[in-house]
Structure 1
Amino acid sequence: MSEGPRRSDTADTTPAKPPMRDALVAAAFRLFPERGYEQTTVDDIVALAGVGRRSFFRYFPSKEDVVFPDHERCLADMTAFLADGTAEDEPVRRVCDAARLVLRMYAENPTFSVQRYRLTKKVPGLRAYELSVVWRYERALAEYLRGRFGGRPDGSLRADVIAAAVVAAHNNALRSWLRSAGQGDADTAVDHALGFVQAMFGDAPPGAPAAAAEEREEDVVVVISRRGTPMWRVVREIESTLGHD
Structure 2
Amino acid sequence: MSSPSAAPGRGAKPPIRDALIAAAFELFPERGYERTTVDDIVALAGVGRRSFFRYFPSKEDVVFPDHERCLADMTAFLAASGADDEPVRRVCDAARLVLGMYAENPAFSVQRYRLTKEVPGLRAYELSVVWRYERALAGYLRGRFARRADGILRADVVAAAVVAAHNNALRSWLRSHGRGDAGAEVDHALGHVRSAFGAGPPPPAPGPRSDGPGDDVVVLVARRDAPVWRVVQEFEATRTAPGQG
TM-score by length of 1: 0.81
Is the CA contact 1:24–1:45 (under 8 Å) kept in the aligned structure 2? yes
| Cα distance change of structure 1 residues 200 and 14 upon mapping to structure 2, 3 Å threshold | closer
Q: Which residue in the other structure is 1:106 paired with? A: 102
Q: Which residue in the other structure is 1:45 paired with? A: 41
Q: Which residue in the other structure is 1:76 paired with? A: 72
**Partner amino acid for 1:220?**
A
State the Cα distance separating 1:217 from its structure 2 match: 2.0
Q: Which residue in the other structure is 2:162 paired with? A: 166
Whether 1:200 and 2:196 are equivalent positions in the alignment is yes
Deviating above 4 A after TM superposition, structure 1's stretches of 4 or more consecutive aligned residues are: 237-244
Matches within 5 A, 1:11-30: 15-30=11-26
State the Cα distance separating 1:202 from its structure 2 match: 2.7
Q: Which residue in the other structure is 1:55 paired with? A: 51
CA offset digits 1:74-100 (Å, max 9, x no partner): 000000000000010000000000000
State the Cα distance separating 1:221 from its structure 2 match: 2.7
Structure exhibiting the larger radius of gyration computed from Cα positions = 1
5+ residue gaps in structure 1? Answer: 1-12, 206-214, 224-236
State the Cα distance separating 1:70 from its structure 2 match: 0.4
The one of 220, 223, 232 equivalent to 1:217 is 223
TM-score by length of 2: 0.81
Give the SS at the match of 2:97: helix
Matches within 5 A, 1:57-206: 57-203=53-199
5+ residue gaps in structure 2? Answer: 1-8, 202-220, 238-245
Structure 2: distance between partners of 1:167 and 1:238: 15
Alignment RMSD: 2.4
Structure number with the bigger relative contact order (C-alpha 8 A, sep ≥ 6) is: 1
Is the CA contact 1:25–1:66 (under 8 Å) kept in the aligned structure 2? yes
Q: Tell me how many residue pairs correspond in the alignment.
A: 211
| Cα distance change of structure 1 residues 79 and 242 upon mapping to structure 2, 3 Å threshold | farther
**Partner amino acid for 1:114?**
V
**Partner amino acid for 1:217?**
R
Structure 1: distance between partners of 2:199 and 2:30: 51
The percent identity for this pair of structures is 78
